[in-house]
Amino acid sequence: MSDIKPVHVLNGPNLNLLGVREPEIYGRATLADIEALCHEAGARHGVGIVFEQTNHEGVLVDLIQRAGQEACAIVINPAAYTHTSIALLDALKGVDVPAVEVHLSQPAAREPFRAPSYVARAASGSISGFGPMGYALGIEAAVQLARARQNHPVKGK
Ligand code: DQA
């Protein structure tokens, strides 16, 4: 039994296609492989993992709001909504749990429209370019942030 709420790992559009989607960019790991890796990382750090994927922006908003109640921290790969969604930014700002932004690829090294991230404005930090390993790193960071807040509760992230 963990002393801390679970980390919610939230995934945005088209990430359900991992494994077949542009493998030269995203590799061959499937989302199920990444989910398994996240559960392993959670077990190493003594937290449960709730793993979700949706292709719908509003559903991601709902999942962020739920995480605000039920998670100790959020790890989020917002996929293309990273670069477009003020709604996701507002949702992350509206919940009192830390968020870590994760990308498989390195968006800043790709097309110019991938360089800006709305989500980064509400994230404690971002991890990009390490493939699936980024999720494990994100979970480690999220747990550290959550435990630091548990030990020294302060308003803010
Ligand atoms: C991504 C990068 C985004 O620019 C892209 O739209 C994605 C995946 C990544 O994990 O590298 O769908 O978030």
Q: What is the pLDDT of residues 68-90, one digit of tens each?
A: 999 999 999 999 999 999 999 99
Is domain 7-151 annotated with CATH 3.40.50.9100?
Answer: yes
Distance between CA atoms of 114 and 79, rounded to whole angstroms? 10
Confidence grade of residue 155 (pLDDT, cut at 50, 70, 90) = low
Predicted pLDDT of residue 2:
79
Predicted pLDDT of residue 152:
72
Please give the average per-residue pLDDT across 107-133, as a whole number. 97
- How do the domains of the chain map onto residue ranges? 7-151
Q: What is the value of pTM for the model shown? A: 0.96
Packed helices 133-151 and 31-45: angle between N→C axes, nearest 10 degrees: 30
- Ligand 1 centroid – CA 9 distance (Å): 15
Confidence grade of residue 58 (pLDDT, cut at 50, 70, 90) = very high
Please give the average per-residue pLDDT across 3-30, as a whole number. 97
Answer yes or no: is the C-beta of 120 below 6 A from any ligand 1 atom: no
Residue 156 pLDDT more than 90?
A: no
Confidence grade of residue 1 (pLDDT, cut at 50, 70, 90) = low
Contact 135, 41 (CB under 8 A): yes
Predicted pLDDT of residue 23:
96
Residue 157 pLDDT more than 70?
A: no
Is 118 catalytic? The answer is no
- Among 8, 26, 45, 135, which one carries the catalytic annotation? 26
**From 24, 82, 128, mutation site for ligand 1 pocket: most ligand atoms within 8 A of C-beta:** 82
